[in-house]
Structure 1
């Protein structure tokens, strides 16, 4: 089985798509695929499909959706396959499970490359970290599960994936700053700060990139804009680490570094 969720979704068995066209069976398949190899409780599946408005026929309808998925799996199996759809999409006590171990799962590959990047960064191998983290980010083809209607459970899954993507993006920028690419990073960081105006780390990284590029005044502008946004939106000041970074820029501290201000 091959599973792609980092953008438009694709679930293929023996090279053939088993993704339904209807929304709710699609949700069901993707929730099972995200937890491939584990049993997903019926209660979780029904919460995803209907939230708090589970119909009286919910159990029967869920079983119908499972039958639809098994039919698609059966159509993808070669005539001499040793597997059956009931084995691949198994029924357990109060739950269902996709039993196959995916030959390809872009989310797991993203997590694997991100882990390598983190380890390289921890070992002060900025070049290796940048390479691995870039490979992880290149697996994304758009927002997670972009063409699947997300209920309550899948919405939480998407939040987790997008948060992981943002963290890896931040780590890759830290690696590139360590390689002295501050000037090249400024356009990318400006875009990220515009997209996430209350994200302190992106603002801090942009401040460091500007300061290292000889544009301290622009670093100060970034801090002032962040402070204005936080006060207007949340009624709070920037954190102590950002304020220390601001003071370091004001003092024209040479060679501002991330570890010094705990931005990583």
Structure 2
């Protein structure tokens, strides 16, 4: 079974889609996919579907959704001529819950984590070219927002936020690697979009400032700082981090930092303020 959640939901058995069109069964499949090869408790699935207001028939209705998913899996297995595996082997009932077995299939978010991890290790080894390449490969797995076509409940929403944060961290590191390789002019258009999308993210703004200054656009770099400062004060009542303030001062005296704005304080506040 192959699973894709980094964009539209796609679950395929032997290359045949088993993704239902009805919203509620899609929610069930999405949550099982996010926890592939792990048991998802019945209570967790019910919370995902109905939050704090499950109907009296909630358990029966959930069983109906599971039955529908097994019908789709069974049809895919039959079409593929698979006789050794049944739908109940793929979507397994266990004490208190269900498990979706991938049986070694492709899971895009796990592949993303593997590729991104290789990129982070390359960054630590100061192999910036290798890091940029590996992180770019990891980010290429994303085709849109996670579970873009699923109406997620609060359980899946937590996983979606985690995945989106992982995506943003990988993007941040890939841009840092490109800056270290002197690709500042190539980054300008991408960073223009990113700082508008993530208006409280200090690290991206710092990278944009650095790229602008290295491209001979000092005044625009300082304007980026002022816009971010105004937004932080207005939205959060906070001043920019000391790391970003140092970068601004270095640009004012025409001494841009050569290694970007990475640092424990900047990184921590960037995660906390990601918009």
TM range (shorter): over 0.9
- CA deviations on 1:62-101 (whole Å, 9 max, x unpaired) are 1111111111111111355211111211111111001233
Are the aligned partners of 2:207 and 2:261 in contact in 1 as well (CA < 8 Å)?
no
Q: Indicate conservation of the 8 Å contact 1:208/1:257, yes or no.
A: no
Q: Which runs of structure 2 are paired with 1:241-260 in the superposition (5 Å)?
A: 241-258=243-260
Do 2:203 and 2:261's aligned partners in 1 also have CA atoms closer than 8 Å? no
Aligned counterpart, 1:46: 46
Matches of 1:117 and 1:174 in 2, distance apart?
12
Shift of 1:219: 1.3
TM-superposed deviation, 1:256: 3.2
Equivalent runs, 1:101-140 vs 2, <5 Å: 101-140=103-142
C-alpha distance in 2, partners of 1:194/1:228?
14
Runs ≥4 in structure 1, deviation > 3 angstroms?
Answer: 259-264
> Conserved in 1, the CA contact under 8 Å of 2:247 and 2:257?
no
Identify unmatched segments of 5+ residues in structure 1. Answer: none
1:216 aligns with 218
RMSD (CA atoms): 1.5
Question: Could you state the TM-score of these two structures normalised by the residue count of structure 2?
Answer: 0.92
CA contact (8 A) 1:245 1:261 kept: no
Distance 1:42 1:253, change over 3 A: same
The residue number in structure 2 matching 1:184 is 186
d(CA) in 2 for partners of 1:154, 1:102: 23
Cα contact 2:206–2:261 (8 A) shared by 1? no
State the partner residue of 1:57.
57
3-state secondary structure, aligned to 2:11: strand
Q: After superposition, what is the alpha-carbon deviation per residue over 1:108-131, rounded to whole angstroms, capped at 9, x for unaligned?
A: 111111011111111100110111
**Cα displacement string for residues 116-175 of structure 1 (whole angstroms, at most 9, x for unaligned residues):** 111111110011011111111111111110111111111111111111111111111001
Give the aligned partner of residue 66 of structure 1: 66
Alpha-carbon distance between aligned partners in 1 of 2:109 and 2:256, rounded to the nearest angstrom:
40
Q: Deviations over 1:187-241 (max 9, x none)?
A: 1111111111111001000111112222222111111000001111111111111
Match of 1:7 in 2: 7
Match of 1:168 among 163, 167, 170: 170
CA gap 1:231/1:80 in 2 versus in 1, 3 angstroms: closer
Distance in 2 of aligned mates of 1:23 and 1:255: 50
User: Does 2:17 align with 1:17?
Assistant: yes
- 1:252 Cα deviation after fit: 1.8
